[in-house]
Every structure is written in C-alpha cells, then in structure tokens.
Chains A and B, each alone.
Chain A
Amino acid sequence: MELHRVRRLASTLVASQLRAGRSSSDPASFFGRPELIGLIDLALFLGAAGLVQGGVGAASLSRSQVTALTNGLLPFLPLIATAVVLVAGVMFELTTTAKFAASDAANWLPISPGEYLLASVSAIAYTYSPAIAAALGGVLPIVLMGGTLPVYLATAAFSIVALFEGAILVEMVRSATQRASSVTAGRRGHASLLARASVLILVILLLQLAFNPVFLLGIAQRLGTVALATAAVPFFWSTEALTQWVGGNVEAGAVFAIAQLAFVAALAYIAIDFRERSWAPTPIEVQLEAHRYATRNPVLALVGLSAAESALVVKDLKGLVRRREMLPTLVVPIVLVVLVLVEGSALGGIVSVLWVGWVAGFFALLVAGSSIGQERRAIQSLYAFPLSVGSLVRAKATFVLVPSLIVAAALAVVVGLFFGLSAPDVLSVLLLVVAASIVLTFWGLAFAARYSDFQERPRPQFLRPIGMLAATGSGMALLFAILVPGTLALLYPSPLSVPMGLLGAGLTVGIGGLAVYWTRSGFRQLFRSLPF
C-alpha cells in the first residue's frame, strides 16, 4: 500500500465533492480545495467552544454539575459520529450512477482495493468531520472546568475512529448495492426491475438498521438489557471504554478500547474483501416487455397536466424506482418509521404526530431537492425541448408530490393505527402532514433550482453541499413552524385551539406561497442558460 497514492486519491475525492455544481467554478479557488473542510472544522471548533464558554460562564455551574455534564456527554460523542456518517453517508454518498462507476478511473488505474478503500473512507470521514469538530469544541470549556482533559483527548481520538467506522460501513453499503444491482442479470420484464429495486431497498435498509446505534439502543431498551447490549454490541465499545475511564476503571476501559480498534480493523478488512468481490459495476442489459406507444397518462391528465408534462412526470417516477442512486431516498421514510415504531408507544400523542409530519415533510424535501440534480447532464435535453418554465415547474412538483403524498397518507394511517388514534384525529393528522409535504415540496424545488449538481464524477450529489445544508436546516425550521401549532391544537383542545389552528394554517399558506414564488423564480433563472 502506497500512502502517497492514498492521500492523492482521498484529496481528489474530497475536491470532487467540493467542486460540485457548475463547471464555471474556479478550481483554483480556496472553496474548491480540501483544506476548506479543515478550516471549517477549526472555525466550528473555536466557535462552539466560544459559545459554550460564554454560556457556562453565565450559568456559573458547580464542580459537581460540570463533572456530571462531562461524564454524561463525552462517552456518547463517538456514537453520534458513527450515526451521522452512516445516515448522511448512505443518503448522500451513494449517488454515483452505475455508468459512471464502471468508468471510474479507480477501476483501471493501478490502485489496489485496500488503497481505494482507505482513500475513500478517509475522504468520507474528513467530509463529515465538521459535525464532530463542533461537538468537541462545544464540550471543551466544560472539560477544562471539570479537569477531565485526558478523557476528553480519548473521546476526540475515539470520535475520529468512529468517523472512520461509519465511513467503512458506507463503503460496505456501496459495495453491497453494486452487488445487488446485478440481481436481474439475464432476466427480463418489469418484474426484474421491481426485484432489483426491492433487493436494493432491503440491502440498504438492513445495513442502515443493523449498524444504526439509535436503532440498536432502542431494541436494547425494549428488551431491558441496555447494559448487556452496550457491552455486547461493538458500536458501543467506545462509549463503554470512555464510561469505564470516567468511572476510574482503567483496565476495563482499555479492554473495550482495544476491542473497538480491533473491530474497526476487522470491518476494514471485510470492506476490502467486499469491494474486491463485489465491485464489478458493468451496466447490465435489462430487457423489458414490448413498449406500447401512448401519450398522456390518464391519471395525470385528470389533474390537468399536458402530454409533455405528464411524460416528464412518468419519466421521473420510473427513474425513482429504477435507478440505484435514487433508492436511498426511498429508504429514508422506511428507516425513520421503523425507528419510531421501535421506540414504541412511549412516544405517543404529540410526538408521534410531529414525527409523522416531520418524516413526510423531510421525505418531500429530499425528493424535491434531488429532482433536478438527478437529471444529471441529460438536463440539456430539457433545455432543447419546446417546454415552458411553467410546464417544468408543474411536472417537477407533480413528480415530487406523487410519492410524497403516498408516503404522507401511509404514515398517517400506519401511525394512527399504531397509536390507536380516532378516525377524525387520523384525518386531521393526514391534513397536517399533507400540508407539510406540499410546502416542503416547493421549498425543496426552490433549492434544487439553485443548488443542483449535474456532474457525473466521483462523489456526485444531487444538491451541492451548501444547498443541502441550507435546505435541510431551513426545511426543519419550516416543518417545526407548520406542524407545532396544528399539533397542539389537535392534541390539546382548549379555547386556544382555534387560534392555534388558524396560526398553523396561516403559516402554512404564507410559507407555501413564498415557496411557490421562490420555486418559479428559481426555475426561470435555471432554465435561462445551460448550467454547464
């Protein structure tokens, strides 16, 4: 293994991600260089440290309070790091098309699977390092007050190991989905596509759940064996090691620490083997039944779409279920729903309604956010077709709304049944969730029009990182603003229910109107000039 080659490849993969978007972006710019992430890490670390220092100073905590805070926070940082990389990584790192993966230079350059894996894993870990940098910065003032610097340093080291652990798992998911893509080799018909989609969704779902610390902890809590689970499940070994050290059990902590490192090394070994055996992303010829030439889907015609708009919607829906890189999006609501079901009725009432609305809205945001970037370079044909901007907005919005409203309705019914809500309550939840989905659809489209990434290259994304961050952050805030008044009015009837309901409706209409306006202006701007 040549580390120089690994470093160059990792640096190229990070740059590929940073230089997402328009071809006119200046490669010499600092914003396209891997050092940018290091700078962000530093800024977040110092910023968080400064903020918390101010807060802690104002709160004037006692020594015992500080110690309790430290002991409660530090052991869980590595766990959070793994979860962040795993969830975000699977969502955003698997968008390479099979076509590109097949022609990826890493396949034909003299790079060994081990070198590729180390480079790729380093790139992923580095990309997501800002999340943990902010957390480590935030706890530093408390640690300094409590005098637990050695444990803090160990936490920092384990957090970095955890970032790598999550990144290795992402690479394993990548290899597994490549393998699963070939499930239809030599088969014919639409059933083969359905089989492929189902297998891919299942693989991503199982890997997401099997390695998701939140899910595992939820299961352990339900079984009432948290202590046993944290000792037996490798993902908790960092936490165990730190907990033991905080409690003064140095030897026990060392055992867990060594076990954790050995586990990550074993994972890396398995991931290299996975890649060696599975990485053959040659596009497979899949033959379907004879095509019947037709125009204007009758259902879409009913909602007033023209033949061209209808064709665009059908095309995008086919892409959603046929493209490997789109399938992680479909897995998101399933994972989130499974998580809430595992957490069980302990949540109940308001939390379950909020959760359902949040999942449905977030799903709409994800699909909308990817709806333009997923065109990749084929978007140039949309510029060449005789289509108006209005047609494109209608078609893309319908494409997002079809799966989003199905998910919203399914979630409202499933959660209604699971938590035993009455029929009127289920209907109210449904209305709330549908409203949230519609608003978030246009919110996502507005970002997609401005921040889409059309490049076919290593580490592509449907949305550029800045757009993804802004869309997710603002989308979460909007969901909160839309859902909370309605949920409170629904679950806690009082004289304030009507004003609360009206406030929720007003916010929904207002934000929705803004989102539609912003989407239209974004589409007008986007389709004024080819972006590459």
Chain B
Amino acid sequence: MAALPTGAPLSGGTTDPARDARGSALQVDGISKSFGSVQALSSVSFSVDAGEIVGLLGPNGAGKSTTMRAVLGLIPTDSGEIRLFGKNVGVDPEGTKRLSGYVPEAPALYEFLTGAEYLDFVADMYGLDPTTRAGRIQQFLMGFELAGHENSLISGYSQGMKQKVALIAALAHRPRLLILDEPLNGLDPRSARVTKDLLRNLAAHDGVAVLFSTHVLEIAQAICDRIVILHRGHVLASGTVAALRDRAGLAGRDLEEVFLALTGTGDLKDVVDALSR
C-alpha cells in the first residue's frame, strides 16, 4: 500500500521556506455578517501566518462555517476586510481563490462523475496541466487508498470516500492556504492520520497556511499551532493551547476542559442526569 508522500513532490523540498518567509497568509479584520435578524458574525478578527495551522473551534452555530465561507469570498461580509496574501478578497476574488483550497463542511460532489473525472474537472478549474495533474492525482489516490475506485461513479462511494475525494480536490493544485471545514469527517483512522501528518508537513515544509475547524478537540490540540474560539459570532479567545489554559485558569488540563470552561458549557452533569432519567 502506497503511503502518501510527505516530502517531495508534495512538499517540494527539504528546506523550511515557511519559517524563512513567514508572513500573514490570511488577515481577517473586524468582519461582521448577519442573515436577516440573525447576527452570525460580530467584529471577528484573527490571522493565519504562512506555515501555521490555526484551529477554528466553537459550538454548533458559533459561526465557524460562515467565517470560512467569508474568507473564501463565498458570501460577502457586511463590514470588515479579509486579505489573503495581501489581496483583498472582495476586490480580487478570482486571484485569492486561485491561492486557496477548500473542503466544505458537507462536501457536495458531482456524483454522476467518476472520482477521476471529478478530480480532472477540478484540476481544469485551477489550470493544472494534464501531465502534472495525472501524476499528482494518482499519488493522492494511492495515498488515500482510493486507487482502484477512481473509475467508479462517485454516487457509489461511501461518505469517507467522498470526503477523501474532496480533500484531494482541495490539495491537488498545491494551494498556499487551506480552508478545511471539519476535514476529518467520515475518514477512517488511517486516512485521518495521513491527513493530519500531511497538513503538518505542508505547513512546516511548504509554508502552507491552514485554517482548520473541528469538533474533535484532541485533534485540534495535536496539530494546531494556535486556536481561535468562536462563540455566538464573536471571537471568545485566541492563542496557543497553553495560553488558552492560562486564560481559563486550567493549567495542565486538556483542550476539551478549557473549551467547555471558556464557552460556559462546562457544567454538563445536570444535563446528562436529566437525559438519563
């Protein structure tokens, strides 16, 4: 079974250009967004540096997916500014999308295409030449154990297989910024591990910036350099896991306890007792 390459050609070298040329890949300044009477985001600000993995955490409905969609320019914000590598998303949407790879929370693929056809289609969207794309896609298919299934219609794939196709589609054109909305949903343990290690490598060796949302806090704790906690559309806290622990006054505790304490949802005993009756 072929392992997904973690150095060349995906990472492209053994030096550490990310750290050398570290700068802001994504700058979110005071964005707000409302849907009718619902205020989804209120003055949200944070940044992601090149080579950094930032975890976007928050309870359901906190505004994580809205933030990610706004970052990509999928929805316009009411106020504030978003810059990708210095380019304003609102001013140059095509240019900024070209630099990004996106896995939505619930990837909806074209199920009447085969996996290979879909990835070929996405490669055309990003202008990848046929020779490069064939080699790169094949490598990913083998790494995610999809080789042998690529000529089947996606409609026959399991949820995990579809998630793998969505991940490959986001990675194949080697974006400089990855926006991943719960990317490990439905993945088997091996593929989840491959994805986590790959993200670490891409960030460390290629300087790829990663904005990553998950509800699995162990994963966030393991791979994220910094955490941004969103709650009811506001940035509740941000920083390294250690800094968040200090802020919550929970030194030595894991991220789950810190998260529950910061979001005010820590005392769950009464809820569990009530549900158990």
- A residues contacting B by CB (< 8 A) are 24, 97-99, 283-291, 293-296, 307-308, 310-311, 314-315, 318-319, 322-323, 376-381, 383-388, 528-530
Contacts and interface: CB of A to CB of B under 8 A. Distances in A.
A285 B94 contact: no
A289 B150 CA distance: 10
A311 B121 contact: yes
Nearest to B36: A24
Interface stretch (B2-10, B127-135, B212-220, B247-255): B127-135
B94 A386 contact: yes
Nearest to B98: A386
Contact of B124 (A99, A291, A308): A308
Given A308-B127, A377-B108, A386-B95, A291 B120 contact: yes
B130 A295 contact: yes
Given A307-B127, A385-B97, A293 B134 contact: yes
- Among B73, B98, B124, find the residue whose CB has the most chain A CB atoms closer than 10 A: B124
B74 A289 contact: no
Contact of B112 (A285, A294, A323, A381): A323
Interface in B77-118: 93-95, 97-98, 100, 102, 104, 106, 108-114, 116-117
B116 A378 contact: no
Given A294-B130, A308-B127, A384 B35 contact: no
Contacts of A293: 116, 120, 123, 130, 133-134, 137
A293 B139 CA distance: 14
Nearest to A189: B151
Nearest to B38: A24
B46 interface: no
20 contacts: A24-B36, A99-B111, A284-B156, A286-B155, A293-B130, A293-B137, A310-B124, A311-B124, A315-B121, A319-B112, A322-B112, A377-B106, A381-B108, A383-B72, A384-B102, A385-B97, A385-B122, A388-B94, A528-B76, A529-B75
A284 B153 CA distance: 9
A386 B108 contact: no
B112 A386 contact: no
A150 B75 CA distance: 59
Given A289-B151, A293-B137, 15 more contacts: A283-B156, A286-B156, A287-B114, A295-B123, A295-B124, A295-B129, A308-B125, A311-B121, A311-B125, A315-B110, A315-B113, A384-B104, A386-B94, A388-B94, A530-B74
Contacts of A295: 123-124, 129-130
Nearest to A454: B108
A236 to B, nearest CB: 40
Contacts of B114: 287-288, 291
B196 interface: no
Closest 10 A/B residue pairs (Cβ): A285-B156, A311-B124, A291-B116, A377-B108, A293-B134, A386-B97, A385-B125, A378-B108, A322-B112, A386-B98
